[in-house]
A and B are shown apart, each in its own frame.
Chain A
């Protein structure tokens, strides 16, 4: 059973109540179609559990097969440094069909951020270390594809269809 090696850390993006007893961590790739499918499911799961669940997203870009995944991850981190992480996270998954620098700049603009500053950040690789750190934490924890979910630190090996994910989380809550 693979377990999360690095528990919640200050630079993580956390959604939900800090006193929630159950944590769902997703390692994801913004350009991965499976993560795109998981995106509305996670939202539904969050709505279902409300205050009982806290959600963390960590980057796991598969650069060899998803050429824009790294830039998307860095774009989300850029937005995060301006307090708009989750907005950008959502916009990226909602616009998977149009990935590329022009889209990322457009989304930055939409969130009231400076596209030129984003371009600069991408060119200088300002957020590359953070994304790599997420990636390696995943590799060390047994992430085996995207999305990979951990519920209270234990890797989910079964289905993450809505009901299955809810059942698995309920199971962890009861444990």
Chain B
């Protein structure tokens, strides 16, 4: 049973594909808060699912100058189609090869299923995890924890 990285831990660096030909690394975003949202898989049949919810709240996250990154083990083409279908305006990262490597770094990988947990991390502008939360995989955690964590960040 893995435990996700707690608040106070430096956020492990990573670089993942965000489009078929571009990668994004966490260190590129140093200097602003980052919301890292691990989720199990693209294409859940629920409207207003977790990523959809955060998509609606981008302007709220932007008030804190925070960047939102969604991350699952799906590949780049899957992410591209999913983001287009749902009109997402934030990057989806492909934790595809090695499978779940970044999720494992954060203690957010479900070995038995081969997918990430529903784990949220708010990383402060200095690269330290300020808040983290793991939701039961069947429960969408919503955005209240993220909004509160962003508010609680030192200015």
B102-155 residues at the A interface, CB under 8 angstroms? 139-145, 147
Q: How far is the CA of A136 from the CA of B59 in the complex (A)?
A: 11
Q: Number of B residues whose C-beta is below 8 Å from A?
A: 23
Interchain CB contact under 8 A, A62 and B46: no
In the complex, how many residue pairs between chain A and chain B have their CB atoms under 8 Å apart?
Answer: 72
B144-A140 in contact (CB<8A) = yes
A118 at the interface (CB under 8 A from B): no
Q: Shortest beta-carbon distance, B49 to chain A, in Å?
A: 6
B46 contacts A139, CB within 8 Å? no
Q: Which residues of B contact A5 (CB under 8 A)?
A: 144
Known contacts A32-B47, A139-B60; A62 and B52 CB within 8 A of each other: yes
- Contact of A145 (CB < 8 Å), options: B57, B140, B145: B140
- Contact B47–A146 (Cβ < 8 Å): yes
User: What distance in Å separates the Cβ of B83 from its nearest Cβ neighbour in chain A?
Assistant: 11
Residue of B nearest to A33 (CB): B47
23 A-B pairs (CB sep. < 8 Å): A2-B142, A2-B144, A29-B48, A32-B47, A33-B47, A64-B87, A65-B47, A65-B52, A65-B86, A139-B57, A139-B143, A140-B144, A141-B142, A141-B144, A142-B145, A143-B143, A144-B48, A144-B139, A144-B143, A145-B47, A145-B140, A146-B48, A148-B142
Q: How many residues of chain A are within 8 Å of chain B by beta carbon?
A: 25
Give residues of chain A (135-160) contacting chain B, Cβ–Cβ below 8 Å: 135-136, 139-146, 148, 155, 157
* A143 contacts across to B, CB distance below 8 A: 53, 142-143
